[in-house]
């Protein structure tokens, strides 16, 4: 953007991406004593700000991710509302998602090295295991299932870190809004049989999806 746009205590520097539900901005948080920190702001699109169901799902994402502290899960450190706009502030990750890496390897007709593809999936598996095992302060399992594991949500930084993104449609016992049985969410090409039929799912649904990702990274084409 030509000039930064003030957004509460943040300055929006550039729009990174826009989807059907939210937009991402490169931003800078400012504070007392010259404090500055580069971050990413995920802001709900204006036409959805009045959609209670979507806003609850957005709040769910923050609530779930805030309970997960793992180097392989993108960190969310602020949730708020500026005017009519709901937003999340999360860590800035310079890098590319695995979907973009797959596209580039296909364009160059160079398969992804076996060790690289396996390393990405192994790191994602560790992050998923942490989410699956997460408990509330009282020790009760949170029952988190990501439900949207795909190459687009596996992010690889330029320093070689792998981060699991987007718990926006995750199922968890602590959700504000529970997805009803029969309600299908996620990307069809990565769903296991139960999820695609709208049946109840557990952590095995994520393991299935991660296996599909492994195939795509190594074969250079989607499984389905």
Residues designated catalytic: 148
Instruction: Select from 21, 19, 89, 78 the least CA-distant residue to 49.
Output: 21
Distance CA 147, CA 150 (A): 9
Backbone angles phi, psi at 19, to 5 degrees: -120, -165
- Cα–Cα distance measured from residue 39 to residue 50, given in angstroms and rounded to the nearest whole number: 26
Task: Dump the DSSP string for 18-66.
Answer: E-SSEEEEEEEEE-GGG-EEEEEEEEE-GGGTT-HHHHHHHHHHHHHHH
């Amino acid at each position: 953007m030509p000039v930064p746009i003030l957004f509460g205590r943040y300055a929006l520097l550039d729009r990174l991406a826009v989807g059907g539900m939210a937009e991402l901005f490169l931003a800078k948080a400012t504070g007392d004593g010259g404090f500055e920190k580069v971050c990413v702001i995920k802001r709900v699109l204006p036409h959805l700000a009045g959609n209670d169901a979507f806003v609850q799902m957005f709040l769910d994402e923050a609530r779930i991710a805030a309970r997960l502290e793992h180097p392989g899960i993108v960190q969310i450190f602020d949730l708020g509302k500026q005017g009519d706009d709901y937003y999340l502030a999360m860590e800035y990750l310079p890098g590319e998602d695995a979907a973009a890496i797959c596209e580039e390897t296909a364009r160059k007709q160079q398969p992804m090295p076996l060790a690289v593809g396996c390393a990405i999936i192994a790191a994602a598996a560790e992050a998923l295991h942490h989410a699956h095992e997460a408990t509330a302060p009282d020790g009760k399992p949170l029952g988190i299932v990501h439900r949207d594991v795909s190459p687009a949500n596996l992010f690889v930084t330029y320093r070689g870190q792998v981060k699991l993104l987007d718990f926006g449609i995750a199922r968890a016992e602590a959700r504000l809004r529970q997805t009803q049985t029969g309600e299908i969410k996620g990307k069809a090409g990565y769903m296991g049989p139960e999820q695609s039929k709208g049946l109840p799912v557990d952590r095995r649904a994520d393991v299935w999806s991660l296996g599909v990702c492994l195939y795509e990274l190594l074969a250079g084409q989607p499984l389905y």
